[in-house]
Amino acid sequence: MASSEALLSIRAKRLSVDMDYISNYSVGSALQNPFDETKNPEGIINFGTAVSGLMDELWLTRFSQQSFFTPDSSHYRYYQCWGVDTFREALSKFMNIFFKPKKPIIFENLYVLNGALLSLDILGFLLADEGESFVFLTPGYNGYYQAGFQRWGIHMVPVPLQHNEESGEFELTVSSVEKVISDEESKGRRVRAFVFNNPENPLGKVFTVEIVKEIMNLCQRRKIHLIADEIYCMSVFDENTHFHSVLEIHNPTLLDTNLLHVIWGFSKDLCLTSFRTGVIHTENVSLQNALKSGSQFQAVPLPLMHILTNVISDADWFKNKFVPTNHSRLRATYAKCKEFFCKIGFTTTKSTAGFFFLVDLRPLFNPPSQEASKAFVKKLYAHKIYMTPSWEMGAEHGWFRFVFTAYSTHGLDIGLARLAAAIDEWKRDISA
Ligand SMILES: Cc1ncc(COP(=O)(O)O)c(C=O)c1O
């Protein structure tokens, strides 16, 4: 009998499923046995997946008080798969409020599909050929690697942010991005896009207008696409930090409009991850036509678009209730979790946005390595905890990403107690 793997495509082999890793160390185990305070109190507490439960009760109340869906017979037919115009119009109004674009966003430039990660996946398919390159910042979002490399054979090339041991900041210099682009090109690999995540996952960092302008300028000079993933743009919780979208900064002399594409979605800023809805803003007409042409493969269900149209049409509720409540909960939970790590003696990075920060657990390893981190992940799992390890985000070994938003108070407290116990036991083991 032929080996099962030999029967698959080269593309499928690139997925390189490592069952030991999947079963023992990855987020998979956490998602298969999720903690629930009443239904599964012995389940895994997942501090590794970037989701937020902070707004659950607000959504539960809102969805139970108001009906957002009135079915009619159109809901049982095929439809405009790249997003029906009523939804795109509602989205353009919503985004005009929260992205503050220089030029109003028009619905014709919005393309709806099943999530922000799929948007990156589709842009990978449409903007690069196999063997070409995209560059992105690390520590960064692992999904980029999966979408670009695993699916389309695009080299996903990291630009490591430099950790300043004194300030504790991870710093970006645009010259380091340019160097990576030049290095790729000297290997004969054409760089097609810079994937720029701002605010950044996992650092919760918001880049300044100056940096964003420099990046646009770089993309213009090198004639590469700028894919701006702004999925955390409404989750800037620090009161002294201001986010500026590329759509607010952009003008066509800074960057050719045909090279600029923005990604956003409902998973993070609205805490509606399971709704699997994302959007691409692009003015590039050829890209728009290509997005239309493949849209039947990635269509958001019509009833869901109908629900979301009604949800986002009440902009006042978002401005006056949802966003301020979300920000104050993000601030409070962030402060609580930072304090927890400080008390048990570990340094964390400063976040101003998003759901996460990095924890410097290097002192627990001598020296930090993937093997040692894997053993530590195993220890965490023994205490029914998961956190994102370094290699899942292209960070140096010993760094872990901690997602502070996943649980409201009780789950969070249980999780922090389990984490403290796991770290204590690890320290005892290594000193024995
Ligand atoms: C930076 C970034 N982009 C995209 C995504 C994917 O979002 P979605 O759930 O809409 O696919 C994530 C999810 O963690 C993310 O952190």
Q: What is the pLDDT of residues 42-70, one digit of tens each?
A: 999 999 999 999 999 999 999 999 899 99
Residue 64 resides in a domain: no
Residue 128 resides in a domain: yes
Residue 304 resides in a domain: yes
CA–CA gap between residue 386 and residue 403 (Å, rounded): 10
Picking from 299, 316, 333, the residue at the C-terminal end of a domain is 316
Two tokens, residue 265:
């979605």
Instruction: Verify that 146 and 218 share a domain, yes or no.
Output: yes
- Taking the CB of residue 101, how many other CB atoms lie within 10 A of it? 18
Consecutive H or E run containing 354:
none
- Taking the CB of residue 358, how many other CB atoms lie within 10 A of it? 25
Residue 222 resides in a domain: yes
pLDDT of residue 432: 79
Q: Inform me whether the pLDDT recorded for 16 exceeds 70.
A: no
pLDDT of residue 399: 97
Residue 63 resides in a domain: no
3-state helix, strand, coil in the chain (%, to 5): 50, 15, 35
Residue 186 resides in a domain: yes
Number of domains forming the structure of the chain: 2
pLDDT of residue 18: 66
HSE-up of residue 93 (Cα within 13 Å, Cβ side): 15
Q: State the burial class of residue 251 (Cβ atoms within 10 Å of its Cβ: 0-12, 13-18, 19+).
A: exposed
Instruction: Verify that 233 and 335 share a domain, yes or no.
Output: no
Residue 21 resides in a domain: yes
Does residue 394 have its Cβ closer than 6 Å to ligand 1? no
How close is the Cα of 116 to the center of ligand 1, in Å? 5
CA–CA gap between residue 119 and residue 277 (Å, rounded): 10
Residues forming beta bridges with residue 200, ordered by sequence position? 205
Question: Mean pLDDT, to the nearest integer, of 231-242?
Answer: 98
Q: How far is CA 402 from the centre of its chain?
A: 14
Q: Inform me whether the pLDDT recorded for 23 exceeds 70.
A: no
Domain that holds residue 77: 69-316
pLDDT of residue 346: 97
Would you place residue 114 in the very low, low, confident or very high pLDDT band (cuts 50, 70, 90)? very high
Picking from 269, 284, 316, the residue at the C-terminal end of a domain is 316
How close is the Cα of 407 to the center of ligand 1, in Å? 18
Does residue 147 have its Cβ closer than 6 Å to ligand 1? no
Instruction: Verify that 26 and 14 share a domain, yes or no.
Output: yes
Instruction: Verify that 210 and 222 share a domain, yes or no.
Output: yes
How close is the Cα of 358 to the center of ligand 1, in Å? 17
Picking from 284, 316, 348, the residue at the C-terminal end of a domain is 316
Instruction: Verify that 353 and 400 share a domain, yes or no.
Output: yes
Q: How far is CA 224 from the centre of its chain?
A: 22
